[in-house]
Amino acid sequence: MKKVLKLLLLIVIVLLGWVVYRQFATPMEFTRTRKQREAAVIERLKDIRTAQRAYKQEHQRYTPSFDTLIRFILNDSLEYIRAIGSEDDSVAVARGLTKMEKFKMAVKDTIYSGRGFTTEDIEALEIIPYSNGQKFIMDAGNLQTESKVVVNVFEAKAPYKTFLGDLDQQELINLIDERKSLEKYPGLRVGSMTEATNDAGNWE
């Protein structure tokens, strides 16, 4: 009988120890995984912002459509100006040997230069990492500031539930509730449709 009680007591101690361990380990694991995934989502949002800025440079506005943005990156070119000769060279200036020359470069070779992006990488621009294929929510339009100036704006965002949804549900609920209590977006977002942020991300 004593052996049975000792065994039961040992089992209870082990179970209590496991419960206490999980109370500390679960938040730590959630935070570690969250930071890892946030880094990947932020990198993708920065790439979207880079593409939107290039699109605006060419079309004087942002686009709310990923199809339009991806076609632009894959198929269009951007125009640049380079100087031939130096304006500081008085002889060259006198002889008319200095001029400005326009040239074009493919968008994908310009904005993502050195990144080694493939066509598949660019086509996946709209997909939220770790989301099982879910897409960023994106919009674009105009906004009138308090000083009555109309500015072009866009936003792209990923709710926490899209890329953290397979993690501990209570920790996820706590995170979302905390963001809402602070009146902050419960996820990651670049740009804004309600305020002029100069395309800033909410992690910056």
Domain assignment of residue 9, yes or no: no
pLDDT reported for residue 7: 63
Contacts 24+ apart (CB under 8 A), 93-98: none
Domain assignment of residue 33, yes or no: no
Q: Work out the average pLDDT over 70-97.
A: 70
8 A C-beta contact, residue 202 and residue 185: yes
Q: Which residue has the higher pLDDT, 16 or 30?
A: 30
Q: Domain containing 100: what range?
A: 42-191
Domain assignment of residue 71, yes or no: yes
Q: Work out the average pLDDT over 54-80.
A: 93
Among 50-59, 104-113, 158-167, whose mean pLDDT is lowest?
A: 104-113
Domain assignment of residue 12, yes or no: no
Domain assignment of residue 126, yes or no: yes
pLDDT reported for residue 150: 92
Domain assignment of residue 152, yes or no: yes
State the total domains in the chain: 1
Q: Work out the average pLDDT over 70-95.
A: 71
Q: Which residue has the higher pLDDT, 79 or 145?
A: 145
Percent of the chain scored above 70 by pLDDT?
Answer: 78
What are the tens digits of pLDDT across the range 119-141?
A: 999 999 999 999 999 999 999 99
